[in-house]
């Protein structure tokens, strides 16, 4: 059970995303190393306990115990490296978020610049004045359309007086002609109407 471990990596990352991928690779390797150390530690621990029960060679047990201590040291060192790698990953992730936020701010500034070029304060003020003027014109047209004819406007006092006359019978209406109409032909072959009195 050897403890040698060779790692060869070329760090050519140029962006934060590539750096994050490299850190994740290193974290995976460190976790694999930690699992390997844990297996070696467990094997040595079992061997030492077995030798103690069987009263084995003391020097051999001391040698195994020394190796166990060394493995524990590197296990702790590996855990610290993993913690450091994870911390750097979080930092890079936050850096990516910050970069996206800055890009969003830049894009927003560009949009505002384009808007200001095509919609200046003077243009907006002119549009507001035009809208108010057109609204006034529309209201004038609407009033003309909905305005009642003068022929349909009646004075309330006159209506009330007529109502009183109808009530007391003092209001008289013109008589409607009740004569029969007779059609006759003239010498010029023209037809004319003649009213005959109603026979009582």
Which tokens go with 155? 């004075």
**pLDDT, position 98:** 87
The residues with which 183 forms a beta bridge, in sequence order, are 193
CA distance 21 to 89: 9
The residues with which 194 forms a beta bridge, in sequence order, are 182
What's the mean pLDDT in 18-39? 92
Q: Are 5 and 71 in contact (CB under 8 A)?
A: no
Which tokens go with 170? 């003092």
Residue 185 has pLDDT above 70, yes or no: no
**pLDDT, position 2:** 41
**pLDDT, position 107:** 92
**pLDDT, position 9:** 44
Burial class (CB in 10 A: 0-12, 13-18, 19+), 45: middle
E strand map for 42-153 = none
**pLDDT, position 18:** 83
């Amino acid at each position: 059970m050897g403890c040698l471990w060779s790692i060869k990596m070329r760090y050519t990352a140029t962006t934060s995303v590539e750096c994050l991928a490299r850190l994740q690779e290193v974290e995976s390797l460190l976790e694999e190393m930690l699992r390997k150390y844990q297996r070696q530690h467990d094997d040595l621990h079992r061997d030492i306990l077995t030798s103690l029960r069987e009263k084995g060679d003391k020097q051999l047990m001391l040698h195994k115990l020394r190796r166990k201590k060394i493995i524990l040291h590197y296990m702790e060192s590996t855990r610290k490296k993993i913690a450091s790698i994870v911390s750097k990953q979080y930092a890079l992730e936050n850096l990516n978020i910050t970069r996206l936020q800055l890009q969003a701010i830049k894009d927003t500034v560009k949009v505002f610049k384009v808007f200001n070029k095509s919609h200046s304060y003077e243009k907006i003020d002119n549009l507001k004045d035009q809208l108010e003027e057109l609204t006034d014109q529309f209201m004038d047209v609407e009033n003309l359309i909905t305005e009642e004819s003068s022929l349909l406007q009646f004075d309330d006092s006159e209506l009330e007086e007529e109502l009183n006359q109808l009530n007391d019978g003092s209001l008289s209406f013109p008589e409607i002609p009740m004569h029969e109409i007779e059609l006759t032909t003239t010498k010029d072959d023209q037809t004319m109407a003649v009213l005959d009195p109603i026979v009582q």
